[in-house]
Amino acid sequence: MHTPDGLFGGVFGRGAVDTSDRAWLQAMLDTEAALARALERAGLADPGAGEAVTAAARAGDFDPAELGRQAALTGNPVPALVRELSRRLPAGPAAAVHRGATSQDIIDTAAMLLARRAFAVISADLAASAAAAADLAAAHRDTVMIGRTLLQQAVPVTFGLVAAGWLTGLDEARAALDRVAAGRLAVQFGGAAGTLAPLGSAGPEVAALLAAELGLAAPVLPWHTQRLRVTEIGAACAGAAGVLGKIARDVTLLAQSEVAEVQEGGGAGRGGSSAMPHKRNPVGSIAVLGCTKQVPGLLATLVAAAEQEHQRAAGAWHAEWEPLAGLLRLTGSAASWAADLLGGLEPDPARMRHNLAAARGFPLAENVAALLAPAMGRIAAHDLLAAASARAAASGATLREALAEPPEADRIAAAGITAGQLDAALDPARYLGAAGEFVSAALAAHASLIAG
């Protein structure tokens, strides 16, 4: 697992999402402390027990490595943690530690706490990225560039429309994260087999009080082997990662030397190469992709682990811990990188115009064919443009030059199409369809989301 201060942490552990051993440990201790407070509120623990356990539940006072070594004896670190926490307390408060709970209750609830804390960070970074994308969309609403489909030049679009696409993806990913955070992060408290038998009739009350103490949802019943909540966390991360990866891939393609329509900011030293002094690599985009490409496999592991036996799983539950932490960490790192990337992105409208002009009018063939179709028929117009385009491509001429030569020129004149009409049909700025309207719609939706 990559920590922010580890060798690969600068790439894969960027940002404020914390899934370190210390973070896991504190989340487990927070759960134990909240349980003690809930038991006290229910009259099942001595007065002051909750406060005493809470005061002792400080991760910095425990040794994660030693707890990990002890976990080899029991299959998870909770039994060792419970013994160590209890040892630090007087007999009264110690009796409230872990009462009625099983190890899975503590780790599952800790995972919910980690997810909530991570989602808050990721959501904030997605919001920052969306704000930057909105600025780009508004500033470049009318900046014409070539659109590309199947990696080939297609028809004109605007860079504002490209940025608006990024914006809507970011807003939708953030909304999905927020939905999971608001309604699907629930406390786990069921005891050995989901009955809370040691607490008798007070079990449901303690479960509700525990949820209230932690600010998590109270589920209908314990969900030990119903793992939809876990896969929903993973799916929300994967959705965000997909959106971020798409943006990063677009930037890497647009930043290629031969395209050069955008470049990343970042100042001196950013994007340097160990071998090639002249290079300025799109390091932010590369880092985003380095994070997001790991996400699908981790989500697949969570989905595979969701098939769990009877009341408690044999191994599948254990298989969730590291992939879930990895999903949170990598999505958080990608989101942090993306906020930096989009905040400093430098579009080059002049280069966009240059590349569009270098296409020699071919991307407007569709529009010219539409102009000719009413007079000569759709198929005949298509064939005329195909023949002219092929001849222009072979000779190095522009499409306009090819259309000025017979036999196409004669057929165009016979159709009653003037040179002015032909020039207008070959103007990229006049063949943008609803691009501007779509940009406005994306910006309006974003403003509505911000307004709440």
CATH number for position 281: 1.20.200.10
Q: Is residue 449 part of a domain?
A: no
Residues 330 and 379 in one domain: no
Instruction: Say how far apart CA 371 and CA 403 lie, in whole Å.
Output: 13
Q: Is residue 270 part of a domain?
A: yes
| 103 is annotated as an active-site residue | no
Give pLDDT tens digits for 41-73: 999 999 999 999 999 999 999 999 999 999 999
Contact between residue 232 and residue 320 where contact means Cβ atoms under 8 Å apart: no
Is the pLDDT confidence value at 216 over 60?
A: yes
Three-class SS state of 148: strand
Q: Is residue 431 part of a domain?
A: no
Instruction: Say how far apart CA 67 and CA 69 lie, in whole Å.
Output: 5
Residues 366 and 344 in one domain: no
Q: DSSP code of 328?
A: H
Residues 320 and 387 in one domain: no
Residues 380 and 266 in one domain: no
| 273 is annotated as an active-site residue | yes
Find the CATH number of the domain harbouring 399: 1.10.40
Give pLDDT tens digits for 130-142: 999 999 999 999 9
Determine if residue 156 is left, alpha or beta; phi over 0 gives left, psi from -120 to 50 gives alpha, anything else beta.
beta
Query: Looking at 83, 87, 179, 273, which residue is catalytic?
Result: 273
pTM over 0.85: yes
Q: Is residue 82 part of a domain?
A: yes
Q: Is residue 90 part of a domain?
A: yes
Q: Is residue 72 part of a domain?
A: yes
Q: Which residues contact 300 (CB under 8 A, 6 or more apart)?
A: none
Q: Is residue 156 part of a domain?
A: yes
Residues 390 and 294 in one domain: no
Residues 309 and 413 in one domain: no
Give pLDDT tens digits for 143-179: 999 999 999 999 999 999 999 999 999 999 999 999 9
Give pLDDT tens digits for 248-273: 999 999 999 999 999 999 765 555 44
Residues 366 and 335 in one domain: no
In this prediction, residue 273 carries a pLDDT of 43
Residues 337 and 372 in one domain: no
Give pLDDT tens digits for 281-301: 899 999 999 999 999 999 999
Residues 344 and 371 in one domain: no
Residue 6 confidence class, pLDDT cut points 50, 70, 90: confident
Query: Looking at 41, 280, 312, 353, which residue is catalytic?
Result: 312
The total domain count for the chain is: 2
Residues 128 and 158 in one domain: yes
Give pLDDT tens digits for 298-343: 999 999 999 999 999 999 999 999 999 999 999 999 999 999 999 9
Contact between residue 331 and residue 122 where contact means Cβ atoms under 8 Å apart: yes
What letters, b where the CB count within 10 A reaches 16 and e where it falls short, cover 87-121? Answer: ebbeeebbbbbbbbbbbbbbbbbbbbbbbbbbbeb
Q: Is residue 3 part of a domain?
A: no
**Mean pLDDT, all residues of the chain:** 95
Domain assignment of residue 198, given as a range: 9-350
Residues 53 and 154 in one domain: yes
Tokens describing residue 217: 């949802």
**Amino acid residing at 171:** D
Residues 337 and 400 in one domain: no
